[in-house]
Every structure is written in structure tokens, then in C-alpha cells.
Structure 1
Amino acid sequence: MKKVIAVNTRILVSGKLEGIGNFTAEIFKRLVKWNPDYEFHFIFNYPFDDEFIFGDNVTAHVIQPPAKHPLLVKIWYNFSLKRVLKKIKPDVFVSPDAITSLTTDVKTLTVMHDIGFAHRPQDLPLSWSKFYNKYSKRFAQKSNRIATVSEYSKKDIIKTYKINPDKIDVVFNGVKESFHPASPQKITELTNNQEYFFYIGSLHPRKNIINLLKGFNQFKQKSDNNVKLVIGGDFLFQANEIKFTLNDLEHKSQIILTGRLTDEELNTWLSGAIALSYIPHFEGFGIPLLEAMKCNTPILTSNVTSLPEVGSDAAIYVNPESIKEIAEGMNKLYTDKNLRAELIENGQKRLKNFSWEKSAQLLWDCIQKTIHS
């Protein structure tokens, strides 16, 4: 008799995949292909794109209500989802977005990428901050197993929620194969041969954009150069504070906001940069570090949470709360060509530890443990 795996795929929205969405898509497209003798049920919250139906062994379900508010999320997981799971009768329910049903009797595997909201509740809108801080521990306790994306996050979940370490598996993120060093011609066409530091990601409070802007401004004040800061990503929560800071900077004209980028544009901007400047307050993993390594780009990043674990010796680390350290890190990378070459070489070695194939196998092992728990 075929094993049945139900998967929460509400995070799979065409053209809007972020970190968790990419994790879900990259891993399950492999698991579906590798395991044709398993039956997968993908459970969506909205009409879905066929690109996410990764094989003939996938059955799709769309259930209501559209869960854009914490109250609707509770209804979706605890009532609508419960009914569908009762009908499907899966051997396991996998939820990659850190939320699970508290009412189902089905064995559950929940992927908790990080619990940054427990340490920095101010980085989320109030309703979501309250929701996660009220229910996340219960999700962890309810789940038969938990997967998370770094050793840092595993230790954090154990310490914060008092969860048995044997219940948690680490499933690292991978990086898209499409990332590669862009050709000099492509870089010239897009960047006009400018020198620049590059940030990629949402413009979100926890990404520490304000200190990045101030650090770059200080770097410019102390160094006579034509270097720009290019920021690729969309404004999210608390956008006005970032905009006010930007408008007050002496060197605001040297900062370029690209908005959301295509994968090709991102690859080219990243390939041409002096360094990736990714200095968040908190991170559960840090996929942009791997993307920079793939593009042969040095890295300036934070010395906190999971980032030293992921970056290893392929990055320069600074205190994300110190504008002075951020400016000094930029200056160090800008002026030391040998250091940049060393970081690039170290990045190529570090990359060998990460791939979506390895990630998919790790999650599959976790799924099997859950089924047989």
C-alpha cells in the first residue's frame, strides 16, 4: 500500500517565492521525483500554478479561507486543514512554514526556520508577533518531529521552548544552481561598470537596513571614492523609517534602490559587487551568503545567530549594532584585493557543504523518522 504524504504548500505562490517558499519548492520537486511510489497531497490556500505540481504522484487541494490574518490562519489550520487531513488519511503531514494544526491526530513534521520573533517581537506587525509568540511553542510541542535550517536555530528552539534535542533534525538550506559568476559583458550592461556594495532581501526591520545605510554613509564620509550601495528588494513592514533614514543621509545620492529583481538581474548585480553586504540583526540561516559564494563575491555579514555558521571563513564579520564596524568592514573589503580573493576561494570550498539535493535527502530522512515515530 502506498505511503501518503500531505504537505502544506500555501507558501507556494508563483512569482513571490521567498526563503521558505524556495525551501519548499526546491525540496519537494526533488522528493516527488525521487519517490514515485509515494502519494503526495499538496494543500494550497489559493488557486495554484501548475509549475508547483511536480509529478503525476501529486494531488492538489485548495482549501479556504484565504489566511492572511492570524485569526484566519487558526481557522485554516485547525478546522479546514483538519477536515482535509481526515479525508486524505496521510501517514505524515509536513508543514514547512512553522505553523501546524493543533487539532489533527495525523503525525506532523513542522519546519521551524527560526524563532526570531521570540527575541525581536518588534520586527513583525503586532498581530503576527502576538500570534507567533503565543502559539509557536505549542506548535513545537504538538509536532512529532521538527526540522530546522541550522545548528544555531536547533539550539535556540531547544533552549527557548525546552524541546527534546532528539526530536529536532537540521536540514540546511541549499542554493539555486542558476547562480553563477556573470560575464563581464552582462555586468557592464547592467551596472555601467560602477563599483558598489550589494544587499539583497526584503527591506524589513530584522534585516537591519537602517544600520547598513548609516554604515555605508560613514564609509563614504571617510573614503574618497565613487562606490555605491545597491539595495535589491521590496519595502515591507516599517518602510517609512527606512525611507526617512535614507533621505537624511549625506550620501543618499550614492544609494540605488532597484526594487524586486529577477533571478538573472540578481545574479548579475551580485556577481559585479565588491561584496555582498548582508548584516541582519537575526537570521535562521542566510541563503544570500550561499548565493554570493556561487557568484564569486566576497561577503560582509553579521557576527550573530546563524551567520558565522553558514559563512565560516568566506566572510568578514561585524557587529550589526555598530555603524562604525560596518563602515570599517566595507573599507577593509574595498581596499584589500587579496582579502577579497581569499574570501572568494574559501567560499568555493564552503559551498561543497550545501545543495538542494543534500537538503532534500535530509528532510526525507526526517519524514521517515516521523512516519515511523
Structure 2
Amino acid sequence: MIIGIDASKLLTAAKTGVEVSTTELIRALLKLDTENTYWLYSPTPIAGIEFNERIKNIVVPGRRLWTIRALSQELKQRRPDIFWSPANFLPNHLPAKAVATIHDLAFYLYPQSYSLKTRLLSIYTLKRAIKVSAKLIAVSQQTKKDLKRYFNVPGENIEVIYHALRTDFDQPEIDLSAAYPGLTKYFIYVGRLELRKNLLNVIRGFVEFQKQADEPVQLLLGGGKGYGHTRIIKLIKQLKAEGYIIVKNYLPAEHLPTLYKKSQGLVFPSQYEGFGLNILEAFAAGVPVITSDLGAMAEVADGAALLVDPDDVDALSGGMLKLLRDNDLRQSLIEKGKVRLREFNWERSAEKLMALWQNL
């Protein structure tokens, strides 16, 4: 079979969640599958993959609206047997067998965290993906439940394929004092700086934590600017917390292992996630995790994290106090995290994807 893949996300230089998971799964798939032929579509050449007669990079030049213009035209002229989009944005022209990955339904369930344009476009592309796809891939049981509940997608039409830890996570330790002067004892948040991540409550909870902590502790917020970023910065200033809440708009991937490892733990009580790759990163770094007691976060953590109500500011501050003061709890969560991490593997996910091709 010839499997076509929208591989445009492999071109992103500063990769975050979706780009990282897409890149990892495609690489694992190409390594394991020695039978099928793969056409990787992209607007410019892809580096870092060894292409040959069976694995080809189909370069389709184009910029604006590349998926529905340039890629659609290419698929109209020459169609693979199966087309997979690692997101819910599908070209107009498709083979009979199309597959789309749905990462989450945050734009639908938390509309206040997105612009009107983003919400309408995301809902449209999701509904179209549901209509034209032979199979949908959900990245968690939670996303599968949401598709069934809110869009009436039959369960048999959805395959759950988990993410795993990024393969480049094991990096040499860096000198934090040089790269992040002034950073001392700290908790860390990694992810987009947007309202949906519940950062307003994280900030409020951390301010309350500071009042009760026995020693100075900082909070490092690291991630790109998202919807509501201005409100997040405004709250930090209103609470006069600039002295101990540090905001970085991007944390380089090679810095993350050390930043996690040297922290007091990951604080990630998001209101909604499709998965939560940073939970696995914290597990790998050997630090405890505070995350939400609901949805995909509780699913991924599966008892290996300190779960809190994301709407309860006191629970957030109390959770940080527990991790700061209770070393037995810290060590217990760290060990459980290491065990839980073994359940997520890119090769296993690629095998499930290969089985999906065969069963279409």
C-alpha cells in the first residue's frame, strides 16, 4: 500500500506538543514498517530522514492555505491508497481511505480560551474530518469519550493511540546559573501561556503558597504566547509577584531535562488536555507532578501524580506545600512516575498505526 502523510509539521523549528508527537510517531512508523510505501508531503524539503524508493518526500510548493490549495491539488492528480493527517485539517481531495488524528476538543469545550475565528475554523475542520475519515485517531481515552459524547462519533470509528516521551529528551545537563541567572529553588510549568492551561489559578495558588512556604521558592512559567497571555502577565503584576514568578516565552528543548530535574516539580493543573506530554517529561526527569484530577491528565498520570481540583486555588497551593515539605511523598511520586512512563512507547504506538492501515 501507498500511505500518504501530511508531514508539514516536521518542518517546524521550535516544536511543541503536536509537532513533537507528529515527528516522533512518523519516525517510529518509518523505522518499523518495511512493507508499505510512504509519501511524505511537505511545502519544502524535509531534513533528517533517509528517503529512498519506498519512503519519498513529495515536495508540494506553496504557502498560504497550503493544505487546502497545494496539497489538495497534488492529491487530486496522484492519490495514495491511504492518506493520514496528524491533525484534523484535511485537504479537499482525498483517497477513499482517509485518517485524521484528533488531539483534543479544547476549542469546543473551552470557547472562552480561543478567538472566534479559531473556534469556528477548528469546529468546521473537525466536523469535516469526522465526515470524510474512514477512521479517527484519538490521543487518549478522554479525547475518544469527548468525540463520542459531543459529536456522536461511534466508538468503533475511533482508535486510541497514545503519545510517548520525545526521543531527544535525554540531553547533557546545562549550567542553569549561566542560562537562567537568578533562578534558584523553583516549581516549573511547561506549556503554552494561555488561559486554557489554568495559569490564572496557578498564579493565584502560587501566591498563596508563597505566604506559607518556609523558604523562598520561585515559579518558572515557560512556553509560547497563547490566547490570554496579556491577562496572565497582568495578573502577575497585579499580585506584585514579578519577583518570584519568572516568565520565559520559550524554553529550548535541550534545556528542558535540566530545568525539570532541578525543579521542585511540575505544576500542570490544566482545565483540559488531549494528552499532556509534559507529564511524561517530568516523570522522565525524576520530579513529582501536580496535575488535574480530571480528563486526560488523570488518565496519563494514572496514580503517579498529585491530583488536584484545577478550580481550587487552595488545593493548588496546598499541593505545592506538600511537595516542598513531604519528602516521602515526593519520592513515592517520583518512583511511581518512572513506572508509569514505561507504559508509553513510540514503537508500540507505531505498531497500532500499522495495524490500523491493515484493517481499513
TM-score, normalised via structure 2 length = 0.92
Query: Hey, what's the Cα distance between the residues in 2 that align with 1:309 and 1:335?
Result: 26
Structure 1 outlier segments of 4+, above 4 Å = 180-183, 185-193
Give the AA of the match of 1:352: R
Counterparts in 2 of 1:129-148, with a 5 A limit?
Answer: 129-148=119-138
What runs of 5+ residues in structure 1 fail to find an aligned partner?
A: none
- Corresponding residue for residue 258 of structure 1: 248
Pick from 56, 72, 76 the counterpart of residue 59 of structure 1: 56
What SS is found at the alignment partner of 1:203? coil
What SS is found at the alignment partner of 2:246? strand
- Corresponding residue for residue 272 of structure 2: 282
1:80 matched to 2:70? The reply is yes
Give the AA of the match of 1:120: Y
What SS is found at the alignment partner of 1:313? coil
Pick from 322, 325, 337 the counterpart of residue 312 of structure 2: 322
Pick from 25, 28, 31 the counterpart of residue 30 of structure 1: 28
Percent identity over paired residues: 27
What SS is found at the alignment partner of 1:11? helix
Q: Using the TM superposition, give the Cα deviation of residue 182 of structure 1 relative to its aligned residue in structure 2, in angstroms.
A: 7.1
Query: Hey, what's the Cα distance between the residues in 2 that align with 1:216 and 1:193?
Result: 16
CA contact (8 A) 2:171 2:254 kept: no
Check 1:248–1:105 CA distance in 2 against 1; reply closer, same or farther (3 A cut). Answer: same
1:155 matched to 2:140? The reply is no
TM-score, normalised via structure 1 length = 0.89
Query: Hey, what's the Cα distance between the residues in 1 that align with 2:216 and 2:240?
Result: 14
- Deviations along 1:288-334, whole A, 9 cap, x unmatched? 00000000010001112211110012111111122221111111111
- Corresponding residue for residue 18 of structure 1: 16
- Corresponding residue for residue 340 of structure 1: 330
Pick from 40, 44, 53 the counterpart of residue 47 of structure 1: 44
CA contact (8 A) 1:209 1:242 kept: yes
- Corresponding residue for residue 271 of structure 1: 261
- Deviations along 1:105-157, whole A, 9 cap, x unmatched? 43101110111111112222221111122341231121000111111111111
Pick from 199, 222, 226 the counterpart of residue 232 of structure 1: 222
- Deviations along 1:75-129, whole A, 9 cap, x unmatched? x33x533331233321100000112235434310111011111111222222111
* Residue correspondences, number: 358
CA contact (8 A) 1:30 1:357 kept: yes
What runs of 5+ residues in structure 2 fail to find an aligned partner?
A: none
Give the AA of the match of 1:253: G
- Deviations along 1:144-175, whole A, 9 cap, x unmatched? 00111111111111111111111111100010
1:313 matched to 2:303? The reply is yes
Check 1:83–1:193 CA distance in 2 against 1; reply closer, same or farther (3 A cut). Answer: closer
Pick from 328, 346, 349 the counterpart of residue 339 of structure 2: 349
Give the AA of the match of 2:335: E
- Corresponding residue for residue 287 of structure 2: 297
Pick from 153, 156, 168 the counterpart of residue 166 of structure 1: 156
